[in-house]
Structure 1
Amino acid sequence: MRITDVLRTPRTARTPRTARTAPAARTAVLAVTAGLLLLGGAAAPAVADATPAASASDGAAGSGAPTRAGTSFRTATEIEQGQKATANASAGDYMYWSFPADAEQRPTVTATVKLPEGARSASSTWQVDVYDGLRRRQACQYGAQTRTAGQATDTVTLACVLRTVRAWSEPWANDPLPGTYYVRLTTTELATADRGMPVSAEVLVGSEEMGGAAAVDGSLAEPLVPGIAVTGAGNAGSDEEPNAVLSAIEPEDGWSSGWWSDRWVWTAVGGVLAALAGVGGYALTRGPGRPSRVPPGA
């Protein structure tokens, strides 16, 4: 074949750039749409989990709800979240309950005190406090932690919304950590003539799942569960001391200690979307193919 025959060969017609980029644009749009649908599906469980457990009905607590309260940290009555506990006591007594709280939960404690009907000699002030497993008093984010009941008031309702429980914290910090929490209900101001009057109390603990927004990079080796529960008095006829074990209460699904959160899902979805956006952007912005080596006008 002669060189003149090669030069006279007609060039292959180029595909218009718009014709090449149209399929690429459609592919990028479909990829982004699929990623958004995947992102919405991952966010749906997180929204569903944000429903506070405290809104459960009284019947959900079951017939085995505690009907007494402890008088100290060591004898605190164990309750589960969503379980309404009741107790009868005398004005001036300390009432204690304990409950488990895991990482990424924001507990809410609600206490209701029912006073005897009829006028009393003076008003009284009631207060609910919450302590963590190290018996450190935890501040309430919001809620009526202290209220005063007038002489003719029959019911006092208190509430305390704690900060979100963290899976890990600095040793010097006072952040809430996974483990046992104690509720203490008592009166801080009471007339001498009203001491010892019969009262009844109701306590309900719930929590809101905060999700990956509250996740931290770290976890405790063990939850803070220092509560003591006497399980037995030893063998009959022996001098053995009662068996003291760690508190038996724990979350319904066990202690997570922050090893998993929906932040992993959001991170994975974000990585997929970034990869799809890179592929789509390259397809939309790449230039024409390698130019032909055939001289123009041949």
Structure 2
Amino acid sequence: MPMTPHRTPRVRRALTGALLAGLALLTSAGPAAADDPSATASPAGAGDGPTEAGTTFRTATALEQGRTGTAQASTGDYLYWVFPADAGQRPTVEATVKLPESAARRGASTWQIDVYDGLRRRQACTYGHQTRKAAADAATVELSCVLRTVRSWSEPWANDPLPGSYYVRLTVVDLPASDLGLPVGVEVKAVSEDVGGGHDVDGSLSAPLVPGVLLSGASGDDATGSAASAAPRTPTAGGPEDGWASNWWTDRWLWTVGGGVLAALAAVFGYTLTRGRGRPAGAPHGV
């Protein structure tokens, strides 16, 4: 039965409403990730973190995201931690150094924090205070480093951050020679912000870049040389609570499905505008 003229406006109004609803769905699919220099993610877990730090990449202390790691060290030591970061996350590393009493120091000091990926490639900081100078009378110095968004896949020649372990190295890079060896206290914390599907790429690694890290206390052999004491433990930096790259859902799915729905509605709407108004009333029927 042909569509009568008085029904066409009703259909057009219904299709217009559906188009507006689809646009509202797309615009509310997910807020765009702002380039904020500080991460806004909540801590991944509660409780105390590790109370020591490694002195090399191989002895780096595992640190969960959201936990605060502490250590007592001497000025001039290289301190290492390692934490996991997955695709779609933008990690932020923060460190606070509690300096010795000003009466024991002879001058200012400069501290620096560096972050390396699982291939031990140094990753650039997009925001934060990676290097800071502490005055001779300063009590603490705070450093921070906001990395680029971790990608699920990258070209072999690129230096993009990839899923896996990330090593944090903290040390003093400039100070009077007489201040070497003074005791310091350190607090380190790593958190991440999920930036959403806008940074997703096609492709993924076959496995995250998670090398084993040797525990500093696992290499001591006893006098008998037993196999239990000689075998080093090699724990990894851990991983996300729901597994590596297990969160397959991103807001890109909403944009894809919503775009398909809008395209279909637009096609139907265009068809109703161009198909004509049908046979006039009273016109003879064809054979």
Q: TM-score range by the shorter chain?
A: 0.7 to 0.9
Structure 1 residues 7-36: Cα deviation after superposition (integer angstroms, max 9, x where no partner): xxxxxxx9863x232111121123123324
Aligned letter for 2:8?
T
The farther-off stretch of 251-260 and 124-133 is 251-260
SS in 2 for 1:43: coil
The farther-off stretch of 264-273 and 85-94 is 264-273
Contact 1:76–1:98 (8 Å) recurs in 2: yes
Structure 1 residues 53-104: Cα deviation after superposition (integer angstroms, max 9, x where no partner): 5554xxx853331111111111111111111111111100011110000001
Name the counterpart of 2:150: 165
* 1:202 counterpart = 2:191: no
Contact 2:4–2:278 (8 Å) recurs in 1: no
* 1:20 counterpart = 2:7: yes
Aligned letter for 2:114?
D
Give the Å deviation of 1:43. 2.5
Structure 1 residues 239-261: Cα deviation after superposition (integer angstroms, max 9, x where no partner): 46415445151012210178543
* 1:186 counterpart = 2:171: yes
Aligned letter for 2:21?
A
In structure 2, distance between residues paired with 1:124 and 1:101: 31
Contact 1:66–1:86 (8 Å) recurs in 2: yes
Aligned letter for 1:153?
A
Do the aligned partners of residues 260 and 155 (structure 1) sit closer, same or farther apart at CA in structure 2, a change above 3 Å counting?
Answer: same
* Superposed counterparts of 1:240-259, under 5 Å: 241-245=230-234, 247-256=236-245, 259=248
TM-score normalised according to structure 2 size: 0.85
Structure with higher Rg: it is 1
Q: Which runs of 5+ in 2 are unaligned?
A: none
In structure 1, distance between residues paired with 2:184 and 2:74: 6
SS in 1 for 2:87: coil
In structure 1, distance between residues paired with 2:166 and 2:57: 10
**1 or 2, which has the higher helix percentage?**
1
Aligned letter for 1:128?
I
Q: Percent identity?
A: 58
TM-score normalised according to structure 1 size: 0.82
Q: What's the RMSD between the two structures over aligned residues? A: 3.0
In structure 1, distance between residues paired with 2:107 and 2:45: 35
Do the aligned partners of residues 63 and 294 (structure 1) sit closer, same or farther apart at CA in structure 2, a change above 3 Å counting?
Answer: closer
In structure 1, distance between residues paired with 2:172 and 2:72: 14
SS in 2 for 1:274: helix
Aligned letter for 2:11?
A
In structure 1, distance between residues paired with 2:159 and 2:180: 35
Structure 1 residues 134-155: Cα deviation after superposition (integer angstroms, max 9, x where no partner): 0010011121100011111111
* 1:146 counterpart = 2:131: yes
Instruction: Tell me the matched-pair count.
Output: 275
Aligned letter for 2:19?
V
Q: 1:115 aligns with which of 99, 105, 117?
A: 99
